[in-house]
């Protein structure tokens, strides 16, 4: 039997791959809510809210609350329930605190009640006025 002639080996035709599916870019909102909450907690780690005497000088509690409505709705419960909040009341004038509370959405009041780091500091200027009066009379 005569040997068969060898055939030339040709490379196989390349397989045509289907085009990759077009995906939209992954955004922050594509993350599970639980993971977003953990990210918010890290961002709020060093946040301490101070309720100011002058409501006109009030600033947003955190820059995250200025980004989008969804992020604001997700951040405010954490902000009000976990971050330290200090309200200084001078001479029993609760106006700054009440003004701040009026700006809070009613749904957030329950979160504020959960906050174990909420502090109300009562101050008085009566002693300061007496000291100033007595110091000025001594200098005369």
Query: DSSP characters for 78-96?
Result: HHHHHS-EEEEEETTB-HH
- Report if pTM > 0.85: no
pLDDT digits (tens, 9 = 90+) for 5-40: 777 777 777 788 877 777 788 899 999 999 999 999
**Taking residues 65-91, what's their average pLDDT?**
91
For CA atoms 94, 45, 71, 33, give the dihedral sign. negative
**pLDDT for res 104:** 83
**Cβ–Cβ contacts within 10 Å for residue 76, how many?**
20
């Amino acid at each position: 039997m005569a040997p068969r002639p060898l055939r030339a080996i040709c490379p196989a035709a390349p397989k045509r791959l289907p085009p990759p599916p077009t995906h939209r870019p992954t955004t922050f909102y594509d993350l599970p809510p639980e993971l977003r909450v953990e990210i918010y907690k890290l961002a709020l780690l060093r946040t301490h809210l101070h309720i100011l005497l002058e409501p006109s000088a009030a600033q947003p509690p955190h820059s995250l609350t200025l980004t989008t409505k969804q992020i604001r709705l997700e951040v405010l419960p954490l902000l009000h329930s976990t971050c330290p909040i200090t309200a200084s009341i001078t001479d029993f004038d609760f106006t700054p605190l009440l003004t701040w509370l009026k700006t809070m959405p009613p749904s957030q009041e329950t979160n504020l009640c959960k906050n174990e780091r909420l502090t109300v500091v009562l101050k008085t200027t009566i002693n300061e006025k007496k000291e100033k009066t007595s110091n000025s009379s001594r200098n005369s």
